[in-house]
Amino acid sequence: MTAVKFEIYDGQIEKFLKKLKGLPGNVEEVINGILHKQGIDIATAEITRFMPVSGANKKHAKKSNWSKSTKGNLEFTIKARGGAANKRGSFGYLVFPNEGRGPHNPLEQRFMERGAKSATSPILNKLNKAVDERLRKELI
């Protein structure tokens, strides 16, 4: 099953990590609060934006509640609700989108990775703002 995991430790966030060192108290609470509320929404929206839609007149994952997420400490994972294509309400074509499987999916579809990459900057901006606000409160 295709999934993307957004983790807080990445080469793009050195500035953010420096701010974290200046925060007293439970920094993880601030970060997890942003990741688990706004981060999941941002990442899901960005992934959805990259989803292809066929010309067929049928229900598409892009216009539905296609994902499920799990929350971890300083991370979250978004998975497709996929499943067997023959089950009602299932988006079976989301199970292996990167492998180009099936008669109607001859090409790799890297929408999960592209969406996660596109979501990184907005999520980091939210995290930076939250940490800045926490620092201001601690300094007052």
pLDDT tens string 77-117: 998 776 666 666 666 667 666 665 556 666 677 888 889 99
Say whether 72 sits in a helix, a strand or coil: strand
Tokens standing for residue 73: 């400490």
Q: What is the reported pLDDT for 35?
A: 95
Tell me the Ramachandran region of residue 102: left when phi exceeds 0, alpha when psi lies from -120 to 50, beta otherwise. left
Strands 67-72 and 75-80: antiparallel
Confidence of residue 27 (pLDDT cuts 50, 70, 90): confident
Structural domain spans, the chain: 26-79+110-139
